[in-house]
Amino acid sequence: MLAAQRRELLLELLQRDGRIVAADAAADLGISEDTIRRDLRELAAAGLCQRVYGGALPASPAVEPYEARTRIEPESKHRIAAAAAALIEPGATVLLDGGTSTLALVGALPRSLHATVITHSPTIAVALAEHEHIELQLIGGRVYRHSMVTCGAIAVEALRDVSADLFFLGVTGVHAEAGLTTGDAEEAAMKRALTRSAAETYVLASTEKIGAASTYRVLPLDEVAGVVTDADAASPAMLELDRAGVRLLPAS
């Protein structure tokens, strides 16, 4: 079997089952595990899968540059934004992550809402500027241009005295096995710092992020209050999340 044929079969297996176990794939195809691992390295280098111990998971498309991500599942993000906005009570103090999902959440907030919003995203801060009843605080630090957020020691230090009611977290992957993941180590660390500064954390997960994974783990699933998503509840990835005990908040 040619290498291109093997890799096509592996991609079909990944789409069908949501994961590849190298030992099982080798037995099914009648080839060595070393060959499977080599194929998975090639597929991962092309951004077509995320390698994990013993095999691979679907790679998240949400690791593209910020401008490109604005064109990924926009309707899904709007539905999730509306459901997430309903969780914010008047007078609440809210932490907002950066990214296109939280930008959609800003658009879903009623102009009459009285609240305090703290963010490390200049993009989110600009979008909130016209909400006259929201007290807006921007966390400074080194700007990570890929997601237009601040990261690093200065940003983490600024969070030391913050105690928010809610944090809306953006990630690139939500997977029952891999947990919550993203594509950059410093950004993952900043997200964890934001989580520690809020009483409850909710994940905003548009359809393409469910069942996908990226390189850096942000949090295990049991450390968040819930996942807001409009993914099909009957899909294999959603059923796995449900079996793992994840609180799934449907957005319609």
Q: Residue 17 in contact with residue 11, Cβ under 8 Å?
A: no
Are 98 and 45 in the same domain? no
Phi, psi dihedral angles at 216 (to 5 degrees): -110, 130
Q: How far apart are CA 104 and CA 195, in angstroms?
A: 20
Residues 6+ apart with CB under 8 A from 4: none
Whether the pLDDT of residue 66 is over 80: the answer is: no
Q: Find the domain containing 8 and state its range.
A: 3-59
Report, as an integer, the average pLDDT of 32-55: 88
pLDDT number for residue 1: 64
pLDDT number for residue 85: 97
**DSSP secondary structure code for residue 71 in this structure:** T
Report, as an integer, the average pLDDT of 196-206: 97
Q: Report the half-sphere exposure of 61 (CA within 13 A, side-chain side).
A: 10
pLDDT number for residue 13: 84
Report, as an integer, the average pLDDT of 46-74: 77
Whether the pLDDT of residue 103 is over 90: the answer is: yes
Q: How far apart are CA 69 and CA 43, in angstroms?
A: 21
Mark which of 34, 59, 84 sits at the end of a domain: 59
Q: How far apart are CA 245 and CA 252, in angstroms?
A: 21
- Please provide the DSSP assignment of 107-171 as one string: HHS-TT--EEEEES-HHHHHHHTT-TTEEEEE--SEEETTTTEEESHHHHHHTTT--EEEEEEE-
Number of structural domains, the chain? 2
Whether the pLDDT of residue 246 is over 80: the answer is: yes
Q: How far apart are CA 158 and CA 139, in angstroms?
A: 7
pLDDT number for residue 65: 63
213-226 confidence digits (pLDDT tens): 998 999 999 999 99
Q: Residue 218 in contact with residue 192, Cβ under 8 Å?
A: yes
> pLDDT over 90 for what percent of the chain?
63
Are 82 and 7 in the same domain? no
pLDDT number for residue 86: 97
CATH for 45: 1.10.10.10
Q: Residue 180 in contact with residue 174, Cβ under 8 Å?
A: yes
Residues listed for the chain:
252
CATH for 119: 3.40.50.10470
User: Residue 235: which of 170, 174, 168, 171 has the closest Cα?
Assistant: 174
- Residue 148 pLDDT grade (very low, low, confident, very high; cuts 50, 70, 90): confident
pLDDT number for residue 50: 87
Are 184 and 107 in the same domain? yes
Are 101 and 53 in the same domain? no
Whether the pLDDT of residue 182 is over 90: the answer is: yes
pLDDT number for residue 205: 95
Are 70 and 49 in the same domain? no
Predicted model pTM: 0.85
**What are the residue ranges of helices labelled H in the chain?**
3-17, 22-29, 33-45, 66-69, 74-85, 100-108, 122-128, 153-158, 185-196, 236-243
**DSSP secondary structure code for residue 243 in this structure:** H
Average pLDDT, the chain: 91
Are 171 and 74 in the same domain? yes
